[in-house]
Structure 1
Amino acid sequence: MKMKSVTSRDVAQLAGVSQSAVSRSFSPNASVSAKTRKRVLEAARQLGYRPNTIARSLITRSSKTIAVVIYSLENPFYSSVLERASKFFQARGYHLQLFVAPLGKAFDEVIDDILRSQVEGVLMLAISITRAQAGEIAAVGVPVVIINRTVDYEGISQVSCDNYQGGYWAGQLLAASGHQRIAFLGGLIGSSTNEQRQAGFLSALAERGMTCHGVDVGNYRYEDARFATRRMFSARQIPDAIFAANDLMAIAAMETLRHELGLKVPQDVSIVGFDDIPMAAWPSHSLTTLQQPIELMIVKATELLLNQINQTESRPDHIKLPVTPMLRNSARSASG
């Protein structure tokens, strides 16, 4: 025998309040007294009531859903971003819907899927888009914020760190430490983060009258970075230092050098990464790197998105945050 489902009317009757008070009690930002909310939640607990968020969205025309678009969760940096974003939005009554846009998949197809989902806003994590695609997204009218990528388009909000300055610091550090053959282990070709970090790095070397010893590509991925490291060290003259465009690749290079090629880090080869993922601080890695301000990036990005959703601020903004050098043991210091 099918049990009768509990409705908000049942909760209202038991709590001695109106149905609208029940609805407001389950809305995080709604105006309702603490006493009324406590009475409603107790009645709901007794009856086993759960609010129907789908039905509510049809009534209010608000899905309370944010789309998060990412191409991969392999990099722990983006797992951390996703976790923090989830906590931020859940505390404000929103839910996240994850969309994966693998490299090579037509981006327009992903956008169509997102728009059909009736989301209220879109967070893009490390998704590279063209100026034309940015314009198409903005024209739809759904608020969008890009995290850790930039695009030459004023109409979409963007939050990133100072990638150029981070690359510059890495180049200065390795050059000042007496290295002569400094290589760059790059991320995704064409991505704004890769281009900006490489540009800062090359600028620092040029200021000291040096050139980059060699460049290879690890696509921001662990296995690709291992292959790239093997290629770099199969040459007649091998690097004595590597700046990797993210920590995951830096760790891949470090483990390949130590466990396959029998080289010591930093005695034989210094390594610098970028991101400061949790495992960078592990004693087995002790990676010198550039820390992205992940908490502040999330706060800024989510505030921008919610302000646009709630129309308290409709003008898109571009925010660039500073990076922080984290000096550990994977790179030789200038004194030794």
Structure 2
Amino acid sequence: MKSVPRAQDVANLAQVSQSAVSRTFTPGASVSDDTRRKVLAAAQKLGYRPNALARSLITRRSRIVALVMSYLENQFYPLVIEKLSRKLQAEGYHVLMFISEMDEAADGVLAEILQYQVDGVVMASAMLSESLAQRCSDLGVPVVQFNRISDLRGLARHSASSVTSDNYAGGRLAAKLLVERGYRHIAFLAGLEDSSTSLERERGFVDGLAASGLSVFRRAVGRYRFDGAQEATRELFAQEPPPDAIFAANDHMAIAAMDVLRLELNLEIPRDVGVIGFDDVPEAAWGSYRLTTLRQCVEPMVDATARLLCEQMAAELCPRDVVVPCELIERASIRQRQRG
């Protein structure tokens, strides 16, 4: 059998130390350009491949980040996966994705996550339970919640960082815009009842309507699902008088609602019903929807998530909460501003 080249073989051929070979293949390690060039040339000639698993046994760092997801149906999260993976790879980390149930805590995949000796965890569209927070805290594994804040008291709130949009402000903006455009019977299409994103968007929406002397005309729960949002829209319009506007807790549900309004109820958007979503997924700009929405700014959210995680994997730092402003994107799903 052909012998497998070792790091020492590369060092001998390149006429450098074995530690120089190790630094060359360690992301972020200090090594001169000349040494790197000689080591890489020797490694290519010998067919040497560094063993990341063996190195992790020595350094006690796997350089693996667990990304826990539960809601890939929403077009917002594939964007997050791509950008976060690229960002962490640039920092020398690799992403290992786990799927949990959308309406349950991620404890079901906890044992599997920890078997991989991950250096950090990102919870995106997944629930952080007290047991998961406790276990990660005990092991010194930092957790960053993306687009979600745990409603747990005590440990979970003090052992996990979070990165969210300003969901409350976004809800207020949606209410203000709809009232300004003349809508008065405004319904709210909620996501999950225990989701911090949906709760904060609704809280801002309620307060925004109250500032204009209005209240939520009608409410239904779509559970962040396309079919759930369709059924919730039918429920909202099953009674007289019907709403004249809908604020949906995300674009995925807003698009589902628009299909029902136009294709089943024969209503015209925005004349009969105005619709606002939240996220600004690529489909929101499609010509068949042209959805007015609150944009979650993916780049700064991903940057903040990677920065928090890398800082806390490198040193024991106190968790922080980062709130990123959202942006109103007006298209054609609400009435235009009256001139004059």
User: How far apart, in 2, do the equivalents of 1:149 and 1:171 lie?
Assistant: 22
Give the aligned partner of residue 45 of structure 2.
46
Give the aligned partner of residue 329 of structure 2.
326
TM-score, normalising length: structure 1: 0.93
SS at match of 1:96: strand
Query: Quick one: structure 1 residues 198 and 104, their matched pair in 2 at CA, closer, same or farther if it must change by over 3 Å?
Result: closer
Measured after TM superposition, the shift of residue 137 of structure 1 is 4.0
Measured after TM superposition, the shift of residue 277 of structure 1 is 1.2
Measured after TM superposition, the shift of residue 120 of structure 1 is 0.7
SS at match of 1:274: strand
Contact 2:294–2:326 (8 Å) recurs in 1: yes
Contact 2:107–2:131 (8 Å) recurs in 1: no
User: How far apart, in 2, do the equivalents of 1:3 and 1:239 lie?
Assistant: 74
Question: Structure 2 residue aligned with 1:213, among 207, 212, 217?
Answer: 217
The 5 Å alignment of 1:188-227 reads 188-227=192-231
Question: Structure 2 residue aligned with 1:247, among 248, 251, 263?
Answer: 251
Give the aligned partner of residue 149 of structure 1.
148
User: How far apart, in 2, do the equivalents of 1:319 and 1:104 lie?
Assistant: 24
Give the aligned partner of residue 161 of structure 1.
165
Matched, 1:264 2:268: yes
User: How far apart, in 2, do the equivalents of 1:137 and 1:56 lie?
Assistant: 23
User: How far apart, in 1, do the equivalents of 2:259 and 2:15 lie?
Assistant: 65
Measured after TM superposition, the shift of residue 133 of structure 1 is 5.5
Measured after TM superposition, the shift of residue 291 of structure 1 is 1.0
Measured after TM superposition, the shift of residue 247 of structure 1 is 0.8
Measured after TM superposition, the shift of residue 318 of structure 1 is 1.1
SS at match of 2:275: strand
Query: Quick one: structure 1 residues 229 and 61, their matched pair in 2 at CA, closer, same or farther if it must change by over 3 Å?
Result: same
Give the aligned partner of residue 61 of structure 2.
62
Paired amino acid for 1:155: S
User: How far apart, in 1, do the equivalents of 2:44 and 2:131 lie?
Assistant: 51
Paired amino acid for 2:332: N
- Alignment identity in percent? 47
Give the aligned partner of residue 175 of structure 1.
179
Measured after TM superposition, the shift of residue 100 of structure 1 is 1.0
- Aligned-residue RMSD, C-alpha: 1.9
Per-residue CA deviation, residues 185-219 of structure 1 (Å, 9 max, x unaligned), is 11111111111100111111122222212111111
Give the aligned partner of residue 154 of structure 2.
none
User: How far apart, in 2, do the equivalents of 1:264 and 1:164 lie?
Assistant: 29
Matched, 1:285 2:261: no
Measured after TM superposition, the shift of residue 131 of structure 1 is 5.8
Per-residue CA deviation, residues 99-145 of structure 1 (Å, 9 max, x unaligned), is 11113556333223222221111111122335675455434421111
Contact 1:128–1:192 (8 Å) recurs in 2: no
Per-residue CA deviation, residues 242-268 of structure 1 (Å, 9 max, x unaligned), is 100001111111122222322222122
Measured after TM superposition, the shift of residue 76 of structure 1 is 1.6
User: How far apart, in 1, do the equivalents of 2:42 and 2:229 lie?
Assistant: 57
Paired amino acid for 1:281: A
The 5 Å alignment of 1:84-95 reads 84-95=83-94
| Further displaced range: 128-137 or 234-243 | 128-137
Measured after TM superposition, the shift of residue 292 of structure 1 is 1.2
Measured after TM superposition, the shift of residue 55 of structure 1 is 0.8
SS at match of 1:63: coil
SS at match of 1:122: strand
User: How far apart, in 1, do the equivalents of 2:42 and 2:285 lie?
Assistant: 48
SS at match of 2:19: helix
Contact 2:165–2:325 (8 Å) recurs in 1: yes
Paired amino acid for 2:40: L
Give the aligned partner of residue 76 of structure 2.
77
User: How far apart, in 2, do the equivalents of 1:228 and 1:291 lie?
Assistant: 23
Paired residues, what number?
A: 334
User: How far apart, in 2, do the equivalents of 1:140 and 1:54 lie?
Assistant: 20
Query: Quick one: structure 1 residues 334 and 205, their matched pair in 2 at CA, closer, same or farther if it must change by over 3 Å?
Result: farther
User: How far apart, in 2, do the equivalents of 1:78 and 1:230 lie?
Assistant: 27
Give the aligned partner of residue 4 of structure 2.
5
Measured after TM superposition, the shift of residue 324 of structure 1 is 0.8
User: How far apart, in 2, do the equivalents of 1:45 and 1:132 lie?
Assistant: 47
User: How far apart, in 1, do the equivalents of 2:254 and 2:62 lie?
Assistant: 41
Question: Structure 1 residue aligned with 2:238, among 228, 234, 237?
Answer: 234
Measured after TM superposition, the shift of residue 5 of structure 1 is 2.3
Question: What are structure 1's unaligned runs of at least 5 residues?
Answer: none
